[in-house]
A and B are shown apart, each in its own frame.
Chain A
Amino acid sequence: MEPFKHLKSKPVPLDIVNVDTDQIIPKQFLKLLGKTGYGKYLFYNWRYNKDGNVEPKFVINLPEFVGREILLTRENFGIGSSREHAVWALKDFGFKVILGISFADIFYNNCFKNGILAIILDKDIIDDIFISKINQDIEVDLLNQEIKICSDIHKFDIDSTLKYYLLEGIDEISTTLKYENLIRKYEHENKSLVMD
């Protein structure tokens, strides 16, 4: 996984609550066997109209937002299915940071496994960006856990382990495999209820 430290970009404002993973990537695109190539299907049913043509009014299609790497959302982003394809699509499309008021648990977890930083901010900060700062640069500094917009600096919380993995680009499995002795000990002591 590529490390994440800093990012500076303007946001793409997706002003919708409760965006579910069926919207982020509809099920007909879950049939690929790899982790890449999903970007072109991101928000497919919102991005293209019934005839398959580009829906000009949908935010990610607006020319002024092309190339932006921060997605600005609201409450409860990523609810529903556990499909990691949702994160793969956002990543493949080019998003590296998602700002929101709250995220669904599984989606949030999936983001960090793929080097995407999901940041939880207070509603008034998110409202302020939507209302008056969508064309301002947002500087994201993971090490110091802060975002800077104009002269405003907002601190954000992040789990120290997730932060470390992201900063270093560490593969979680290789870390866990170092606990082999403990895993073997657990299995040996047979605490589990299934292996009577």
Chain B
Amino acid sequence: MVKTVYDKIWENHLVYSGNDNDPSLIYIDRHFIHEVTSPQAFDGLRINNRRVRKPDLTFATVDHNIPTTNRSLPLVDEISSLQIKSLQKNCQDFGITLFDMNDQNQGIVHVIGPELGLTLPGTTIVCGDSHTSTHGAFGALAFGIGTSDVEHVLSTQCLWMKKAKNFEIILNSSSKKDLAVTAKDVILSIIKNIGTSGGSGSVIEYRGSFISNLSMEKRMTICNMSIEAGARAGLVSPDDVTFDYLREKRYTPKNESFERLLDRWRDLRPDASAKYDKSFILNVDDLVPQVTWGTNPAMTVDVTSTIPNPDEYAKGDEEEKKSAIRALKYMDLTPGLPITDIPVDRVFIGSCTNARLEDLIEASIIVKDKKISPNVKAMVVPGSQQVKLSAEKLGLDKIFMDAGFEWRESGCSMCLGMNPDILLPGERCASTSNRNFEGRQGTGGRTHLVSPVMAAAAAIAGKFVDVREWI
């Protein structure tokens, strides 16, 4: 039988194969946990007197609610502090490695997994966070789970699952790499085209010349937002780019072990004539920078465009039309307004989508020797302590701070606003994060999702600009 990458990983992890319509029991190779979605799972273990089956396959960090300001100061938020203390105790009691708040490897869980070589091709990876799809960039089957499933994996190292559909997204490109049109624009454009439920019930495999020429960091940006298209997971077949990235990472097996794994990893490509249940093709050469205008990531337009009117957006779907009207009201925008006439109050460069070193380097190219608009408050929140350190070695912190950006400690920060980094009601933000839902970055806050270079340019101009004109 010809197989896709997903088929191969699936088969390789079957502990028990269910009949046609029944779920199968799948082995989980890596389990990442964080402070917000795990406390109730550990409670469940204690109540039922259960152990953590594989503490050595479980890794924890704090990222969701921690402050990004000076970490030597005590936590002001008592409830957040309680969640952090609770994770510390749970990791200690059950023997789990924790990259704690002041650890040099602390960071957003989806940034540190790859960075530490914990994310490996062909593995199954779960975390109580929907953006676990990020790790699919390495040819892993990686997906988010709820807290009940966190408890299930802690206790059994397995999950019951039904096999998802295979969805191929082919990204073609003939031209060379373009700094202005990024992986973020590609994934926003995909979601614009297939919708927030376009990937529902599927595992997306990204293929085509564009993806094979991308760095690991950019592949992660694309896989990260697979969940915004409703997909169970997104992945890319691993290749030499993947293997080179992983070779010297802390937890990557070394020497002969690595070579042995390489042989197996090289098989993680789709068989010739592998069958996919769904296909979507995008020619990346035609793409321009993307900006979201509404309250879900499918509400996206070209930067050269205007705010759509609800009829045009809904294409005859009455419910989507109502949804667009509601979004325009929330976002305080009028149809016909050019995107480049929209002013911004805040700029956030961060999140598991776009806070790795390449993202910060690219944004810094736009920012260098310029000042942010006096009407804008802007911040850079590196994805991890390692990203922060590497960026500082390159002097990026200075470039950003000279321009008027704040340079923060690593964490999820204003992507979801569980810590003090939030938008005030009515504030409009150019954000490199992944969700523009109502209130996501702060109650009443208005989020426009963009790439790091677009966010950087918006900070300087005080409004959205077509960053192609700046490069």
Contacts and interface: CB of A to CB of B under 8 A. Distances in A.
B160 interface: yes
Interface stretch (B96-104, B117-125, B362-370, B385-393): B117-125
B145 A106 contact: yes
A27 interface: yes
A144 interface: no
A95 B471 CA distance: 53
Contacts of B157: 183, 187
A87 B145 CA distance: 13
Given A45-B438, A113-B146, A177 B323 contact: no
Interface of A: 15-18, 20, 22-23, 26-28, 30-35, 45, 50, 74-76, 79-84, 87, 102, 104-106, 109-110, 113-114, 159-161, 172-173, 176-177, 179, 182-183, 186-187, 191-196
A33 B83 contact: yes
B418 A30 contact: yes
A169 B39 CA distance: 23
13 contacts: A17-B322, A22-B437, A30-B36, A31-B65, A80-B435, A81-B129, A83-B146, A172-B160, A173-B152, A176-B25, A176-B160, A179-B158, A193-B29
Given A75-B197, A79-B296, A193-B123, A16 B21 contact: no
Contact of A104 (B200, B320, B322): B200
Interface in B111-131: 120-123, 128-130
Contacts of A23: 437-439
Given A17-B320, A182-B25, A173 B15 contact: no
The 6 closest A-B pairs by CB, nearest first: A113-B148, A84-B146, A110-B146, A82-B144, A194-B29, A193-B122
Given A18-B323, A80-B435, A173-B155, A31 B80 contact: yes
Nearest to B125: A194
Given A81-B130, A193-B120, 10 more contacts: A16-B322, A16-B323, A18-B296, A35-B40, A104-B200, A105-B232, A176-B25, A177-B155, A179-B158, A191-B13
A183 B54 CA distance: 12
Contacts of B23: 159, 161
Contact of A27 (B83, B146, B418, B425): B418
A114 B151 CA distance: 13
A170 B27 CA distance: 21
Nearest to B80: A31
Contact of A193 (B12, B152, B437): B12
Contacts of B437: 20, 22-23, 80
Nearest to B151: A173
Given A22-B435, A193-B123, A87 B57 contact: no
B55 interface: no
Given A177-B156, A183-B158, A193 B145 contact: no
A104 B197 contact: yes
B425 A50 contact: yes
A81 B64 CA distance: 12
Interface in B12-31: 12-13, 15-16, 21-23, 25, 27, 29-30
Contact of A186 (B27, B253, B323): B27
Nearest to A83: B37
Contacts of A34: 40, 43
B425 A102 contact: no
B48 A173 contact: yes
Contacts of A26: 439, 443
A179 B16 contact: yes
A17 to B, nearest CB: 4
A17 B197 CA distance: 11
Contacts of B193: none
Nearest to B78: A31
B329 interface: no
Contacts of B156: 173, 176-177, 179, 183
A166 B143 CA distance: 24
B139 to A, nearest CB: 10
B278 interface: no
B173 interface: no
For B36, B260, B425, which residue has the most chain A Cβ atoms within 10 angstroms? B36
A179 B261 contact: no
B275 interface: no
Given A33-B43, A193-B264, A109 B15 contact: no
B249 to A, nearest CB: 13
B71 interface: no
A158 B201 CA distance: 15
Contacts of A22: 416, 435, 437-440
Given A33-B82, A76-B197, A106 B144 contact: yes
A19 to B, nearest CB: 10
B146 A33 contact: no
Contacts of A105: 200-201, 230, 232
B257 interface: yes
Contacts of A17: 319-320, 322-323
A45 B425 contact: no
Contact of A161 (B130, B160, B443): B160
A23 B151 CA distance: 25
B417 interface: yes
Interface in B310-355: 319-320, 322-323, 326
Contact of B319 (A28, A75, A179): A75
Given A102-B200, A161-B160, A176-B158, A194 B146 contact: no
B2 interface: no
A136 to B, nearest CB: 22
A110 B443 contact: no
Interface in B79-108: 79-80, 82-83, 86
B50 interface: yes
Nearest to A23: B438
Given A33-B43, A82-B128, A176-B152, A161 B22 contact: yes
